[in-house]
Amino acid sequence: MKTFSMKTDALTGENYLEVYLHGQQLVTDPFLNKASAYSEEERLNLGLAGLLRPAISGIDEQRQRSYEMYKRKHDEIEKYIFLQGLLNRNETLFYNLLCNNLIEMLPIVYTPTVGKACLMLSHITREYRGIYITPDNIGNIDKIFQGISLPDVYLIVVTDGERILGLGDLGSDGMGIPVGKINLYVAAGGLHPAGCLPISLDVGTNNENLLNDPLYLGYKKKRLEGKEYDEFIERFVLGVKRNFPDALLQWEDFAKHKAFKLLERYRDRILSFNDDIQGTGSVALSALITAMRIKKQKFSEQKFLIVGMGQAGFGISSNIQNMLVEEGLSKEEAASKIFAYDVCGLLLEDTPGLTENQKRFAQKRSSVADWKLESNDSISLLDIIRNGKVSVLIGVTASSGLFNSEILTQMAKNDERPVIFALSNPTSKSECTPEEIVKATNGKGLFAMGSPFSQFELLGKKFVTSQCNNLYIFPGVGLGALVSRSTRITTKMFLKASKAISDLVTEEQCNENMLLPDLNNIRNVSFHVAKAVAIEARDSGLGRLLSNEEYDRVIKKAQWEPQYYPFRSGIK
């Protein structure tokens, strides 16, 4: 049952919510709970008289009170539990608090704390959020979707929990990721939470710890695989298309072999994208564009080494290749400048067992024939960096300390201003630390990390670490695609998004070696990303035919501010 509708008074132009709940039901609905902020008129007309303490306090006072309680929590998980509790009690207040303290709370609502929370989600769950689709209820998917109380659904973030961050198969405990992603869509992009739906496709788990945990709340069977899995996904997608035909579907934290297949199978059938592949690749490209501005060089003058050729590694490699092609290289020439390294070592044309995506970046055997190697048995990372004259090193391996001092020092020998991205998260999985890069490169290295690292002082200078956070990309891409009513999301849209982000890095920030804009201005970043995506959608024949100025107006209006609306009763 829909619990409210968004309305505009035809006489006064006032925006208000028409609500279909009264009394106690109203204050226990997270979308409609205003706690002490209900006006006297609302208290009388909506059956709230006597249910609330007499003082009326607005959202600013409520935020102050909530922040005081938040600061009393000295453990990251306890802070996470507190914020999720607030979200489940009062969505508007939660987002008001988050938007006003985004940099402080970002590591709590998302990486790295959300990973820790997912590891114990069945043990800390207080209330359910979102929708859980299982093999037992997939046949009732239309009833499930029709029973959702949201007035409209235009964004779905979905995971099957098989590859949660760098933590692996967490089953339906992975639901913390879609919930966290939607928190960021709202806080950073401005999407209204009443249109956002997190979904867990709980198809089982192969994690024995979960299967043997009596407190695990998920579907306690081995994972669906093969044809059964494909049929399950197909039924899910068809259910989304029937019930939410205009919604954007974001695939999140699927296993590598499934993620690529799902992206290719559905990218033209439903408005969708995969943030782990396309979002990570796009934000990394944005940081690289800024790095080239600082170096005053082109992409075609670099040699790239991507360590870890899963979803993120492939997405980054593809974006670099696209940029090289834009500079005039052929796809083959562009691929020859990218060394790809995975668990099997350097990807070569005759390496057995490569996926089709990995084959795109496999080097010819002849290109390494004259290399001088540390051992004839294998080609190490150091071998590649030395012989390939690598100037850009990017890690997405979740292997802590992989980029040791010898590797970092060699990068400094190869290039006066080497570019080094250690993008694995959470922080404990980072391939190296910013301090290690600064020491090895004598402060000359340009670096970005996948997790948040504090500002530090070394060699008599202060260093700020750019966090290559997908937050720069996905909220704006989603907003732009929805506002433009695009029928699909294309590679060019992500390329335009990358450039839009890099354009926001000021010359002053470049002088401080910052590769990405300040996250404090993330709403503005999302606006510019959304505009770039919407204009590309329009120009490619996929989106609404609005002028640039009209898109300015429409996108700004679409960015919801977490403030309370007036309520009017919809019960006749």
Closest CA to 224 of 241, 212, 236, 239: 236
Closest CA to 392 of 510, 289, 501: 289
Strand segments (E) across 347-440 = 392-395, 419-422
Q: How far apart are CA 332 and CA 91, in angstroms?
A: 50
Active site residue 181: yes
Is residue 411 within 8 Å of residue 441, measured between CB atoms? yes
Helix (H, G, I), strand (E, B) or coil at 271: coil
Characterize 38-62 residue by residue with b for buried, 16 or more Cβ atoms within 10 angstroms of its Cβ, and e for exposed.
beeebbeebbbeeeeeeeeeebeeb
Helix (H, G, I), strand (E, B) or coil at 185: helix
Active site residue 110: yes
* Active-site position among 110, 219, 266, 472: 110
* Active-site position among 181, 256, 258, 429: 181
Look-up: residue for tokens 């020439």? 333
Helix (H, G, I), strand (E, B) or coil at 414: helix
Characterize 222-252 residue by residue with b for buried, 16 or more Cβ atoms within 10 angstroms of its Cβ, and e for exposed.
ebbeeeebeebbeebbebbbeebeebbbbbb
Which residues make beta-bridge pairs with 197? 156
Cα-based distances in Å from 205 to 77, 134, 238? 24, 12, 24
Rounded to 5 degrees, φ, ψ at 504 are -85, -10
Q: How far apart are CA 160 and CA 170, in angstroms?
A: 9
Q: H or E stretch including 155?
A: strand 155-159
Q: Which residues are identified as catalytic?
A: 110, 181
